Structure 1
């Protein structure tokens, strides 16, 4: 079994949103989701499902082209939205899940 960096709720949304994933496949954290059939329209639906599932807003946070967006990128965006570092007034603890300062995702 391959370990993933995200939780089961996130993977459920991925499975519902990625037609090419297959029922037994584990989504790769570093493979562009375009390989699983994600396009900009499907990404809008996925973002809405993630916002509903996690009770967050992802507005303005997706700045990486859909063709290079990975599940790992998207999980970083969602997990940061659930626990925003900028709202705590401090940097994440060493070794804590965080986010990259690189561009994120654009549909």
Structure 2
């Protein structure tokens, strides 16, 4: 069995929000979480739990449609939010400069 790219805390939160994920089954990094029962309401709960658990704000960062969002996408967003330069590339409320959109944002 391959090791997950994320930590146990992240997987625990996913398990709480993915009703279709079997007890002994690990979420695959590249399978849309919709296959495990993810819907928009469950995603709100997962994002809220991740923000609380990791002390980060993910507001406006999960822009991938629910039907194609994978655990790997979500872990990438959380991992980026944990980096010290998380806010450096985004516009500030005071109108500061930006280095462009974050790489995980999909149009």
Q: Which runs of 4+ in 1 moved over 4 A?
A: 86-89
- What is the TM-score of this pair, normalised by structure 2? 0.80
Q: How many residues align?
A: 95
- Check conservation: 1:61, 1:77, Cα contact below 8 A: yes
How far apart are the structure 1 equivalents of 2:79 and 2:12?
A: 15
Given the superposition, is the C-alpha separation of residues 73 and 19 from structure 1 closer, same or farther in structure 2, using an over 3 Å criterion?
A: same
Look at both structures and tell me which one has the larger radius of gyration over its CA atoms: 2
Query: By percentage of residues, which structure has more helix?
Result: 1
Task: Write the deviation string for residues 64-90 of structure 1: whole angstroms up to 9, x where unpaired.
Answer: 10000000000000010011545568x
- Unmatched tracts of structure 2, length 5 or more: 90-101
- SS of residue in 2 equivalent to 1:31: coil
More relative contact order, 1 or 2 (CA 8 Å, 6+ apart): 1
Q: Match for residue 92 of structure 1?
A: none
The CA RMSD measured in Å over matched residues stands at 2.0
Deviation at 1:60, TM superposition (A): 1.1
How far apart are the structure 2 equivalents of 1:60 and 1:104?
A: 12
- What is the TM-score of this pair, normalised by structure 1? 0.80
- Check conservation: 1:32, 1:67, Cα contact below 8 A: yes
